[in-house]
Chains A and B, each alone.
Chain A
Amino acid sequence: MSETPVDPDQVRHVASLARVSLDEEEVTEFTEQFADILGYFETLDEVPEVEREPELTNVMRPDEGRAGLSQEEALQNAPDTEDGHFKGPRVS
């Protein structure tokens, strides 16, 4: 089995980093599955270091205007709006 013990706390920590809330059942399930999957990923350690040269470079566009969206289009999928703004939760 795996050498990487992934414990429930790590799963909770990662869930918080990813802003995905998990119930206790999910925490247990994922802890088990991650142990398997991460164990499988271990063999990556054997891979030699190889640098890749990117083929494309310097792709840019000129500083010119392009048509955008109207305010209505921009807001059309928002669950909640107010005075032309998107409405979201508080930040503290």
Chain B
Amino acid sequence: MAQAQETGELAVIIGLEVHVQLETDTKIFCGCSTAAADEPNTNTCPVCLGLPGALPVLNEGAVEAAVKVGKAIDATIPERTRFHRKNYYYPDLPKNFQISQYDAPICQDGRLEFSVGDERRTVGIRRAHLEEDPGSLKHKGGSIDTAEYTLVDYNRAGTPLLEIVTDPDFRDAAEVRAFLAKLEEVLEYLGVFDAGRDGSLRVDANLSVVAESEVGADGSVDADVLEAANRTEVKNISSHKGAEKALAYEAQRQKNAIERGRAVQQETRHWDESRGITVSMRSKEEEKDYRYYREADLPPLEVADWKEEIDIPELPDARRERFREEYGLDVEAADKLTATKQVADFYEELAAEFDADLAATWVADNLLGELNYRDMQVTDIDGRLDEVKRLVELVAAEEITAKNARETVLRSMLDDGRDPDTVVAEEGLGKTTGDEVQQAVEAAIEENPGAVEDYHAGEDGAINFLVGQVMQKTGGSADPGDVNQLLREALE
């Protein structure tokens, strides 16, 4: 195999196995809640605890979620799909087998298109299948490899997982990150995924390094070359940013080894986020003989027609396109406004009632800007979007200035939780009446003869000074445009 000898260019080949927790109310094989719990082992029952005699019964919601994903990634849903047992021993597995899918997964041969910088890429999704999440482990008395014993919590055991397996189509770590971000976006649009939930996304990556010459012009690599190349499996990646860092590190590690004439081991490595390195998993290379065989407790599924019947919402890319056309938005604005389904829905709600540009400014620039600055998400003000709408209403009706609206009202809403009408009343932000402005204009002119002289001498900029004076007198609640106009008229 070319690896150890090549001093030519090296290429990286990456494939992913992404485990996604599906947002159902109950677990995949029992009626226990999937909600996060404060105490360990409080969301369990005989089934998810693996008590002797318990039996699994499939959650329809999990199947629906999987079909939605299949539809969104253009996958085939076969005539018949069934569950298998994957047999291995580990304390987080209540039954010491995991109910999963083997040769008849619920989704096959899909694809996902995404952008990396300016480029559009498409990655093949070989399959996606349903399985149950194991429990969670705490290693006590040390880290995973030095612990004395393990504490186990089965609250998570039985949460529905969709394992999404890609073709080895990635050629660098940045692509992986972009893909994962896009995948999260699509899943979130479908309503089957919550990126904010701890552990909702887990990635195992397979990475190998081959000679650049083995990679075709279209990016393809011969199956034999792939087979022959030693690949490492990198585990413990839990975010798309983490994926980029982990795989950039691992690719470099492998390249370095090869360039120094050392062979790369085929092994499993653990991504240590805090140290920024991958570590070889010392665990003895146990024969991974999972002895897959059909799960007799679960009758097979015939749900191919569900793909036709199930509705999925407009997906992010399509929505983005439509926003640009329908609302005349530029690329950047369209992107921001479709970042999440919630934001996009909110934008359209505003655009339906008010001017589309105003709505765009308010959501893309003002709201998202202020949230971002405070490290907040739209989900953090989940129940208060109608207040934001009220604020926009006030601006549209010209009852307050845009500047006050953003700088005072919106910020107060976010910082101290007051609603817009309260802030306007308490801060006296209602637009100053015409008379008050007129008086302030006259007073400013009287008090600042120097500026008036400059203006008449041709220094147009002097008007700004006067505008400032008027704004001060009106406590900032006059409209600067109006003030400018009034001053010019008064100085004629």
Task: Mark A residues whose CB is within 8 Å of B.
Answer: 17, 19, 54, 56-71, 74-75, 82-92
Contact = CB atoms under 8 A, between A and B. Distances in A.
B471 to A, nearest CB: 57
27 contacts: A19-B96, A54-B299, A57-B301, A58-B301, A59-B57, A60-B59, A61-B31, A63-B24, A63-B61, A67-B31, A68-B30, A69-B49, A71-B39, A74-B44, A82-B140, A84-B40, A85-B151, A86-B91, A86-B152, A87-B152, A88-B149, A88-B152, A89-B149, A90-B148, A91-B147, A92-B144, A92-B145
A54 B91 CA distance: 33
B33 A63 contact: no
B212 interface: no
Given A82-B151, A85-B152, A91-B137, A60 B58 contact: yes
B302 interface: yes
Interface in B280-305: 282-283, 287, 289, 291, 298-303
B295 to A, nearest CB: 12
Given A84-B42, A91-B137, A91-B144, 13 more contacts: A19-B89, A56-B299, A60-B57, A61-B57, A62-B60, A65-B25, A66-B45, A69-B46, A71-B41, A74-B41, A83-B40, A85-B138, A86-B152
B43 A58 contact: no
B472 interface: no
Contacts of B24: 63
Contacts of A63: 24-26, 59-62
Contacts of B153: 84-86
Contacts of B149: 87-90
B460 to A, nearest CB: 68
A3 B303 CA distance: 45
Nearest to B29: A61
Contact of B59 (A61, A74, A87): A61
B373 interface: no
Contact of A68 (B45, B62, B298, B300): B45
A57 B59 CA distance: 14
Interface residues of B, number: 54
A68 B31 contact: yes
Contact of B26 (A65, A69, A83): A65
Contacts of B91: 86, 88-89, 91
B124 to A, nearest CB: 29
A87 B150 contact: yes
Contacts of A65: 25-26, 31-33
Interface string B134-148: 000111100011111
A38 B401 CA distance: 88
A91 B139 contact: yes
B41 A64 contact: no
Contacts of A64: 25-26, 31
A90 B61 contact: no
B25 A68 contact: no
A82 to B, nearest CB: 6
Interface in B43-76: 43-46, 49, 57-63
Contact of A86 (B25, B41, B61): B41
B40 A66 contact: no
A56 to B, nearest CB: 4
Nearest to A77: B51
Contacts of B137: 91
Given A57-B300, A59-B299, A61-B31, A71 B42 contact: yes
Contact of B299 (A57, A75, A89, A90): A57
Contacts of A91: 90-91, 137, 139, 144, 147, 150
A90 to B, nearest CB: 5
Nearest to B284: A92
Nearest to A60: B60
Contacts of B362: none
B154 interface: yes
A90 B44 CA distance: 23
A87 B298 CA distance: 31
A52 B437 CA distance: 88
B334 to A, nearest CB: 34
A71 B40 contact: yes
B30 A66 contact: yes
A92 B146 CA distance: 8
B32 A68 contact: yes
Nearest to B148: A90
Interface in B236-265: none
Contacts of A56: 299
Contacts of B140: 82
A69 B32 CA distance: 9
Contact of A92 (B25, B44, B45, B283): B283
A69 B44 contact: yes
Contacts of B154: 74, 86
Contacts of B57: 59-61
A58 B304 CA distance: 11
A60 B42 CA distance: 24
A21 B394 CA distance: 76
A70 B299 CA distance: 30
Contacts of B302: 57-58
